[in-house]
Amino acid sequence: MTETTGAPTSRGRELTIRAILLGGVLTLMFTAANVYLGLKVGLTFATSIPAAVISMALLRYMAGSTILENNIVQTIASAAGTLAAIIFVLPGLVMVGYWQGFPLLETTAITMLGGILGVLFSVPLRRALVVDSDLPYPEGRAAAEVLQVGAASAEGAEENRAGLSALMWNSIVAAGFTLLTQMKLAGAEVARWFAVGSGATGVAGGLAFALFGVGHLVGLSVGMAQLVGLITGWWVLLPILTQGGGGDPETLANTVFRADVRFFGAGVIAVAAIWTLIKIAGPVLGGIRSAMAASRARQGGQALAIEQQDMSINWVFGGSLALMLPIGWLLWSELAGGPLAGASFALIAGAILFIIIVGLMIASVTGYMAGLIGASNSPVSGIGILAIIASSLLLLGLLGRGGGAEEISAMVAYALIVTGLVFGIATISNDNLQDLKTGQLVGATPWKQQVALIIGVIFGSLVVPPVLNVLNETLGFVGAPGAGPNALAAPQAGLISSLAQGVLGGNLNWTMLTYGAIAGVGFIMVDALLGRAGKLRLPPLAIGIGIYLPMAVILPVVIGAVGGWFYDRWAAKRPNASFAHRMGVLTATGMIVGESLFGVLYAGIVAGSGSDAPLAVVGEGYAPYAPWVGLILFVVLVWLSYKRTRRLVVATP
């Protein structure tokens, strides 16, 4: 697919009332589903592509619907998966005993204010990271392909019929396979754990069509970089760090991975993120200058192309500064009457500066990560780790260490609230640039998309508190006071709250973070040398991601990248090479669409039934066979999917 925009010849409707209402309904539904799944298993699903598919299915029967209107729907709804990530921070306030529930006003304010800041901070980044960048933006491209095929299919063009066929076929295959995994007839993961001396490691791969499809879309360079990270984390560090650990290999490997290797990966990500900031500082500043020049040109009466009309930079600056007032009020209300009330002025001023400076930096880094590997695969929780450490260090700098237990508890809670605001900036920026890439490819109006995402943030922010309260009151969270036997794990929130307690209590794993930072410098040097030699680049941020995320997530992405490379080599030799390449993109897109749509349905089934496995049809006795059945079936279905796509390419003149 080319980088040129697909601006429609007749623009038609775009930011309409019906698009806002439909996007709002989907946002509310997807946010609720993602909050539940995120707390249950620590993962959320991307919602922009499912929203685009649903939007096309519904708006097709309404007069005057356009690709731009469908794009607005998916832009609004994309806030769902994004805002749900706030559950990786806020439950920590319950876990540490600071909140007994989720107060409506405070929870909504943290979610909404951070989210809107994320939209505003990412506006000037569009020109630097979307327009003037060659980042792949896998999910942005995939969403654009879905929208373009859906819009063009009505015209009856042969290529578009073939593309729609590839999209639908692979969506059905992916959804069907995911259904079999939830029925427990096929395993969702294959793993083998073994001893290495007195230590342990293993091999694990998720059988997920969505991850395979993402691998195809991100390409070989990112895939190989993540493979380097995987090897570093699981086959170099783990065998060393687990020596003398004892116990069964699986438990030992996973325990050490969570306790040590992930912190090593976070150190790599930190250095790679700083390096990324240094590299993109020039383009980002150029993008800001360009946005300011465009604003002046518009005020002077000069006409800009619709595809270049961002939200006014004056609104961005003014809106960002205006939001500091409610943020200041929110922080003051949390400090008032507590053990930190005497230092309110210093704490609020420090937090606001932290939110502005670190928020802008994180918006740039997470936007870059979204372009590199996709929003749903970006290690945003890794950014959350760095943010909670930084905010905790800020408190130590302002207040010092040595207070009593009550003061330390209040400091932990304050650090979590500040991190929640920064986390909202990170997640929305991560998603927003992906949406703007989709908009660029379909010829959308940037400022209308930016307004649409703010609307989505508002919709999603209203549903997060009641859903969290229902889950807290009925199930609770592991580690929280009064949690029941079926308490939700909320793994990221537990980790981030533990980090705050570790920094402020003086027992954080600085050793692995430091080693990771040193390794990150080495990875940056290797990438630079490869670039000079004209070899395949290994982006250091992708290496850090490969270390930080579980092997079960990374391995299928790596395999998908290799599979996509082989397909693209074949496609390049075809007489209709561009069409053949687009069909590969649609094949991978279908894999993502099918699994994502099933994720929405399954989340509703789980929430409604109250069961961990509501679709299971076999007992525990079948469990040893399920992974191998799943592996064989997964390989066969992937092979058949690409074979069918190649046949469609050959049959289309």
The burial of 632, by beta-carbon neighbours within 10 Å (0-12 exposed, 13-18 middle, 19 or more buried), is given as exposed
Query: Residue 102: inside a domain, yes or no?
Result: yes
Q: How far, rounded to the nearest angstrom, does the alpha carbon of residue 95 sit from its chain's CA centroid? A: 24
What is the per-residue pLDDT across 363-408, written as a single tens digit (0 to 9) for each? 887 777 777 766 665 667 667 778 888 898 998 888 877 667 788 8
Query: Residue 551: inside a domain, yes or no?
Result: no
Predicted TM-score (pTM) of the model is 0.75
Query: Residue 447: inside a domain, yes or no?
Result: yes
* 3-state DSSP assignment of residue 55: helix
Q: What is the pLDDT of residue 641?
A: 95
Full domain range(s) for residue 81? 17-157+306-383+404-494
Q: What is the pLDDT of residue 564?
A: 94
Query: Residue 575: inside a domain, yes or no?
Result: no
**Antiparallel, parallel or unpaired: β 189-196 and 199-206:** antiparallel
Instruction: Round to whole Å and give the CA distance between 415 and 395.
Output: 8
Helices (H), 443-550: 446-474, 491-505, 510-532, 540-548
Query: Residue 545: inside a domain, yes or no?
Result: no
Q: What is the pLDDT of residue 97?
A: 83
* Total of domains in the chain: 1
Query: Residue 169: inside a domain, yes or no?
Result: no
Q: What is the pLDDT of residue 111?
A: 92
Instruction: Round to whole Å and give the CA distance between 77 and 34.
Output: 12
Torsion of CA 373, 601, 52, 423, to 10 degrees: -50
Q: What is the pLDDT of residue 306?
A: 67
Distances (CA, A) of 554 to 95, 300, 557: 30, 50, 5
Query: Residue 291: inside a domain, yes or no?
Result: no
Q: What is the pLDDT of residue 155?
A: 44
Instruction: Round to whole Å and give the CA distance between 301 and 133.
Output: 28
Query: Residue 389: inside a domain, yes or no?
Result: no
Question: Number of H helices and number of E strands within the chain?
Answer: 24, 2
- The segments of the chain whose pLDDT lies below 50 read 1-4, 7, 9, 154-156
